[in-house]
Amino acid sequence: MRTDDLVQVYREHPLFLSLRDPDRLGGRCGRCEFRTRCGGSRARAYAATGDPLAEDPGCVYEPA
């Protein structure tokens, strides 16, 4: 049974706050000039690496 408010969790939980902060991204996404508009798939990063802030392994772009 859920006890926490879903909206509050989405807005305030440290994990969700980190997911909305492009400066927390790692790997190629972390140094990509498009990270504030793209940011990559956080779900794919988590599925592939266990780290939701890792680079998106499905992206072929190589930032400078």
Q: DSSP of 20-42, one letter per residue?
A: T-GGG--HHHHT-TTTTT----H
* Min dist. Cβ of residue 33 to ligand SF4 (A): 8
- Binders of ligand SF4 among residues 9 to 38 (CB under 6 A) are 28-29, 32, 34-35, 38
* Min dist. Cβ of residue 48 to ligand SF4 (A): 12
CA distance 35 to 18: 13
In this structure, are residues 43 and 36 in contact, taking their beta carbons and an 8 Å threshold? no
C-beta closer to ligand SF4: residue 11 or 31: 31
Binding footprint of ligand SF4 on the chain (CB under 6 A): 28-29, 32, 34-35, 38-40, 55-56, 59, 61, 63
